[in-house]
Amino acid sequence: MGSLPRIGLDRSSPVPLYFQVAEQLERAIVDGALVPGDRIEAEIELAGSLGLSRPTLRQAIQVLVDKGMLVRKRGVGTQVVGAKIRRPFELTSLHDDLARTGQPAGTEVLSCAVVEADDEVGHELQVPPGSPVWSLERLRSVRDEPFALMRNYLPVDVVDLRGADLTALGLYELLRHGGVHLRVANQRIGARRAEAREARLLAERRGAPLVTMTRTAFDDAGRAVEHGDHLYRADRYTVELTLVDR
Amino acid sequence: MGSLPRIGLDRSSPVPLYFQVAEQLERAIVDGALVPGDRIEAEIELAGSLGLSRPTLRQAIQVLVDKGMLVRKRGVGTQVVGAKIRRPFELTSLHDDLARTGQPAGTEVLSCAVVEADDEVGHELQVPPGSPVWSLERLRSVRDEPFALMRNYLPVDVVDLRGADLTALGLYELLRHGGVHLRVANQRIGARRAEAREARLLAERRGAPLVTMTRTAFDDAGRAVEHGDHLYRADRYTVELTLVDR
DNA sequence: AACGTCAATATGTCAGGACAAATGCTTGAC
DNA sequence: GTCAAGCATTTGTCCTGACATATTGACGTT
C-alpha cells in the first residue's frame, strides 16, 4: 500500500495545471510510490487540497486513464492498474526508441534520392503515380549487428532531405524539426521469409523469418507525410504495445 | 467538400449527449458526408445550434480526436483527418474480429483443462507458480484453412470454462458475459519459424514464417485475467492498427 | 512592395455548481 | 440469521462563465 507524495503546482508555468498533476501522478506510479490496487483520494477532496477545481483535476486523471495506468469506478474511486504499462506504442520512429533506451544505434544510409512514385506509393501518399517522392533506404544496427532494413517514401514538398544527416537524427525527429506534426499512423505488422538481398544486408540466412511493418503517417492537417516499408530480424526485434479499452 | 448532416439529440435517452453527438459525427465521416479536410463548425456555434454547452460538445469532439478521425488546431478550427482510419486496434479477440467481417470462422478446441502454472504463466497472471490455471488451445480456420493456433491461460477464479462452448463464443466474449471487464492489455508481436507440430496443425511446411503474438490482459480492477501465446500463418494474417499521437 | 501591427476567430485552460447513477456499507424488518 | 431497503460515497454528466493563446488575414507604415 503506497501513498501519494505531495503534488506541487506552478501557476506561473506555461505548462497546464492538469498536465502538471498528471505528470506527477504518473511519476508516483512509475516510481512505485503508488502500487497497483492503491486508491487515489476522491476527486473533489484531491482537487480541494491542491486548490484546483474538480474539472481540472478530473482532466489530469483522465490523461492517466487514457494511458491505462488508472481506472475509475463510479461509487468506488480511482485505482492504480495492476499491469505494468510498457511505454505505449507512440508515434515515434525507431531512432527515437533506441535513443531512449541508451542503445548506441548505428545507421547506414543505403540510398537517398528523388524517384517517381509507383502506384502503391502514390496511393499511400495521396499523390498521383509518377510524382516525385523521396526514396530512402537505411540499415539500422546495434553493436554492429544489423537488425532493421527500412525503406521510406516522402512527398518532396514535405521535407528536403538534401544535406540532412540521417545518421544523427531519426526520420521522425527530422520531420518534427521541419515543422511537421505527426498525428495519426496506420500500421500493418506481419512476417515473411528473407529474400536474398535482404538476408545479405541483415546478415541472415536466406529464408529466415522477418518481421514486416508497413506504416503510413499523417500530419495534423491530415496530409500523408510518410510511407514506410520495414523489415526486422525476428530474433532481434519485436513490437510491443499496450492497448487500452475505454 | 461535404457538409455535416443535421444532428438529432434525445435528452430522454440514457446515452450521454456527448456520446450521441460523437456517434453521429463519426457516422458522417465514415459515410463520407464529411470528407477529409472538411472543417467542422466552431465549437461555440455548433454547441449553440444543438442547444448544448461548449464543454459537452467539446467532449464529443474529443472522442473523435482520440480516435484519430478529427484534428483540432487552435485559432483554426477542427478538421476531418485525411487518413482512412482502419478499425482501431481494440481490445477484442480474434473471434470478435472475424465475426465482424462476416467471415465464417471455424474453431477447433484442441485442449481445455486445468493445469499448474509454470513460472512464466504464473508471473504473467500474477499468481504463484504451481497455481491451478485453465489452459486452452484452439485452432482457428476460415473456409477450412487453418491460420491461427492459440494457447491461452486464465486463473481458475476468473472464469469457469467447464461446459463453455468456445466454438460459438470467442474467449473475450465469454469473459464479458462472465462479468469481466477488460481494460488494458500488453502485447508483443514478432515472428519465428514453425516447429513440426505447429506446422502440421497449421497445414504449413516446417520452418515456414509465423507471426507470433503474446498478450496479457487486465480487467478494470487491475487483475491479470488472461495470458495468450498465439501463432498465425504469416501468409494469411497481419496485425493492423492505427496509432494516434495526442 | 515589403514588413510589422492589430483585430477577429477558434481552440485551450480553468473555475464553480448542480444533479444523476452506480457502488458498498449500514440498518432494519422478518 | 438472512435479506432487503436506505444512506453515504464517488464518479459521470452537464451547465454557465471567463480568460489565455495560437492562427490568420486585414490594415497601416515604412
The partner residues of A134 in beta bridges, in order of sequence, read A114, A154
Asked whether residue B148 falls in the same domain as residue B220, the answer is yes
Question: Which of A224, A220, A222, A125 is closest to A182 using CA atoms?
Answer: A220
Neighbours of B30 (CB within 10 A): 12
First to last CA, chain A: 26
Rg of chain B, C-alpha, whole Å: 22
Q: Which residue has the higher pLDDT, A83 or A177?
A: A177
Chain A CA closest to residue B238: A190
Residue B4 lies in a domain: no
- Cell output for A168: 544523427
CATH label of the domain that carries residue B41: 1.10.10.10
Chain A CA closest to residue B183: A245
Chain B CA closest to residue A243: B185
Nucleotides on chain D that have an atom closer than 7 A to a protein CB are 8-18, 21-24
Asked whether residue B107 falls in the same domain as residue B71, the answer is no
Asked whether residue A101 falls in the same domain as residue A75, the answer is no
Residue A2 lies in a domain: no
Alpha-carbon gap, residue B237 to B240, rounded angstroms: 10
Separation between the CA of B160 and the C1’ of D2 (whole angstroms): 28
Neighbours of A31 (CB within 10 A): 10
| pLDDT band of A168, cuts 50, 70, 90 | low
The total number of structural domains in chain B stands at 2
ipTM (interface pTM): 0.74
Question: For residue B246, what pLDDT is reported?
Answer: 58
Asked whether residue A127 falls in the same domain as residue A206, the answer is yes
Asked whether residue B229 falls in the same domain as residue B108, the answer is yes
Alpha-carbon gap, residue A96 to A177, rounded angstroms: 14
Question: For residue A143, what pLDDT is reported?
Answer: 78
Q: Which residues contact B220 (CB under 8 A, 6 or more apart)?
A: A71, A73, B181, B182, B183
H-type alpha helices, B70-126: 94-101, 119-125
Question: For residue B212, what pLDDT is reported?
Answer: 93
Asked whether residue A195 falls in the same domain as residue A112, the answer is yes
Asked whether residue B137 falls in the same domain as residue B216, the answer is yes
Q: Which residues contact A136 (CB under 8 A, 6 or more apart)?
A: A109, A111, A112, A150, A151, A152, A153, A154, A161, A166, A171
User: Is the minimum distance from the CB of B82 to strand D below 7 Å?
Assistant: no
Residue A142 lies in a domain: yes
Q: Which residues contact B144 (CB under 8 A, 6 or more apart)?
A: B106
Residue type, B122: G
pLDDT in tens, B85-106: 554 445 444 544 554 555 666 7
Sheet with B70-73, edge to edge strand ranges: B39-40, B77-80, B70-73
- Judge whether residue A220 has pLDDT over 90: no
The partner residues of B244 in beta bridges, in order of sequence, read A184
Residue type, A186: N
Question: For residue B144, what pLDDT is reported?
Answer: 81
Between chains, do B220 and A193 touch, taking CB under 8 Å as contact? no
- A window 62-91: Cβ near strand D (< 7 A): 72-78
Residue B243 lies in a domain: no
Question: For residue B202, what pLDDT is reported?
Answer: 93
Asked whether residue B116 falls in the same domain as residue B200, the answer is yes
User: Is the minimum distance from the CB of B103 to strand D below 7 Å?
Assistant: no
At residue B76, the 3 state secondary structure works out as coil
Question: For residue B149, what pLDDT is reported?
Answer: 93
Residue B219 lies in a domain: yes
Asked whether residue B67 falls in the same domain as residue B113, the answer is no
Alpha-carbon gap, residue B49 to B58, rounded angstroms: 14
- Cell output for A221: 492537417
Residue numbers in chain B where pLDDT is lower than 70 = 1-2, 82-105, 166, 168, 245-246
| pLDDT band of A2, cuts 50, 70, 90 | low
Q: Please compute the mean of the pLDDT values over residues A96-121 and round it to a whole number.
A: 77
Question: Which of A155, A153, A150, A169 is closest to A231 using CA atoms?
Answer: A150
> Which residue among B49, B80, B111 closes a domain?
B80
Alpha-carbon gap, residue B4 to B46, rounded angstroms: 11
Question: For residue A38, what pLDDT is reported?
Answer: 83
- Judge whether residue A208 has pLDDT over 60: yes
Cell 499523390 found at = A127
Count of helix runs (H) and strand runs (E) in chain B: 7, 10
| pLDDT band of A180, cuts 50, 70, 90 | confident
Q: Which residues of B172-200 are buried (b: 16+ CB within 10 A; e: fewer)?
A: bbbbeeeebebbbbbbebbbbbbeeebbe
pLDDT in tens, A49-80: 899 999 999 999 999 988 888 889 888 889 88
CATH label of the domain that carries residue B171: 3.40.1410.10
Inform me whether the C-beta atom of residue B244 falls under 8 Å from chain A C-beta atoms.
Answer: yes
Between chains, do A184 and B242 touch, taking CB under 8 Å as contact? yes
Asked whether residue A135 falls in the same domain as residue A227, the answer is yes
Residue A182 lies in a domain: yes
Q: Quick one: CA dihedral B164, B169, B172, B173, positive or negative? A: negative
Asked whether residue A99 falls in the same domain as residue A177, the answer is yes
Question: For residue A89, what pLDDT is reported?
Answer: 46
Residue B89 lies in a domain: no
Contact indicator for A150, A94 with CB cutoff of 8 Å: yes
- Judge whether residue A114 has pLDDT over 90: yes
Q: Supply the range of the domain harboring residue A49.
A: 17-80
Asked whether residue A132 falls in the same domain as residue A201, the answer is yes
Neighbours of B223 (CB within 10 A): 20
Separation between the CA of B42 and the C1’ of C7 (whole angstroms): 19
- Judge whether residue A141 has pLDDT over 70: yes
Alpha-carbon gap, residue B99 to B38, rounded angstroms: 33
Residue A211 lies in a domain: yes
